Structure 1
Amino acid sequence: MADDPSLTRSQELIKEFNYDEQEDVEGCVARWSSQLGKDLHMDYSDIDYESREKIKTKDKQTLSGWLVNAVDLVRRQNSQLYLLKEIIECFKTEALADKEKVIRLQGQLLVQKDEQLQLLKTSVEETVQTTVESGIQNYSAAVQQNSASGTVCNSKILKKVMKSVAAEEDRSKNLIVFGLKEEEEEQLPALVTTVLEEIGEKPHFEATRVGWKRPGSTAIRPVKITVPSSTAVHQILMKTGRLRETHKDVWICPDRSSEERATRKHLVTDLKKKRAEQTHLDHYIRYGKVCSRDKKSS
């Protein structure tokens, strides 16, 4: 019979182990012990070194019969014990190998965790840098505009610029949830909590519907979620793909500015076009551009 490559060495030995032989040996030992007790007129468990005087009264033929049977049973038991010992040794060896495998996988897991943390850190740094650069550009534009018109940049203008920067910073802590069923007298925090728990997140948040609902309208308004930090936003966005399994009609997006929404709209249009024209490739949006790859590698 050919070896099964899916079985370990210990599993092969267990499969090959002769359980019928083991049961037969155990039965023979029990019968031999019982017969010995009967021949000596005593319980087998009471036979010890002090019972030798009683044993000496037996003739040589009886004693030789006991000896031959005992030797045969010991030989058979040794054979079974050797096989069991080999199985145990294999278990030990495989347990050590499994332990090494677990340690190696733990190491790989730590490396991947570090890579994810580094990616998250980079994303946060890029977001902060973009926000700061946007604020500086707005400030510079305001100064240049007033300088060109011959007026001095007063405190009101500066406050307006800083307010714009602050609004951009606040937006980095927001998420927009689309497709979340809207009902009268709804418990919005509970609905949002259910969605976030599906992706393994339990942040502190505030949730409100965006916009005013017209009477008789069946449109579902999006929900704006505000969390304590932009780091929490990135953490949630990294896991939104899991919602495809449980909430196919619900998706979570960053709180984008009007300019970012326009850019995103163009990207989505380009994405749909490529998916229609190049069906042999897998297309997706990443880092602000439409990327493509072979479907076999996805």
Structure 2
Amino acid sequence: MLVLDRLGFRYPAATRRSLAGVSLDAQRGRVLGLLGPNGAGKTTLISILAGLLPVQEGRVEVDGVPLAALRAEAPTRIAVAPQDYAFYPMLTVAENLACFAAAARLTGARRAARVDACLATAQLQAFADVRAERLSGGLKRRLNLAIALLAEPQLVLFDEPTVGVDPQSRAFVLDAIRALADGGMAVIYASHYMEEIEAIADRVAILDQGRLLREGPLAELLSEGGRVLRLRAPGLHADTLARFGRVARSGEEWSVQLDDAARPAEVLAALDAAGVRPQHIDFGRQNLEQLFMALTHRSLRDAE
């Protein structure tokens, strides 16, 4: 549905481009996860697709139509749920939905039906008459979601939609977004929360400093270098692991991508000989954090 070809962008007076030759595509019925640290270029990319920034370099097309032409002819085909709250705090939930439905040129019975449908999708019926400023953080995120869906867009852009919400609200938002893709929408989900991308994305694009480092189906990316041993062990030093493969550390967790000849049992024996008692051990495919570290030699957390 969506094609980005060598997309580039530089803010005025910036020393480097926020996007540098990014090429991607997004498909109907799929979630494309944009993963990267703060400053990687995710919000800039979302802002361009949402029409908030111009296409400076490269090409953006939706079903073969240039983005600018599409936005002029059918602006509601693409919707965005931004990182910030995008509603009027003094209005009730229902009033906000009615207001944004009118802005999308929905009228009459269709406007009423879409307001009701989006209230149901976001499970906000019980809060319809509550002023938006009085909602919890999780409910405000759900209102953002409901507003984005009013005009039945074909492509929905999510920019860090779970910032500052409780675990239950985060799970609800992620399930709702996955359901949108399962229903046929194209979804782009930008985040630096790796576990969220792993939970809902079909394809993943990893960005850093405006560059596309890697892109592809989630399962294929996670299968690269799959012989990874992860563990938490007080007193562990890199030298103990280094002879078995490539070692990395993220917080309290160590990981070693085993050489072809190395075996997990040999690593555990070496730990035991060194008097190290692991608290947690996991062996299997790598996660997105480890892939990012392999590409950049730093962790997503460090990069933020």
**Above 0.5 in TM-score?**
no
- More strand, by proportion: 2
Smaller-chain TM-score bracket: under 0.3
Larger Rg: 1
- More helix, by proportion: 1
The alignment's TM-score, normalised by the length of structure 1, stands at 0.26
The alignment's TM-score, normalised by the length of structure 2, stands at 0.26
Higher relative contact order (CA 8 A, sep 6+): 2
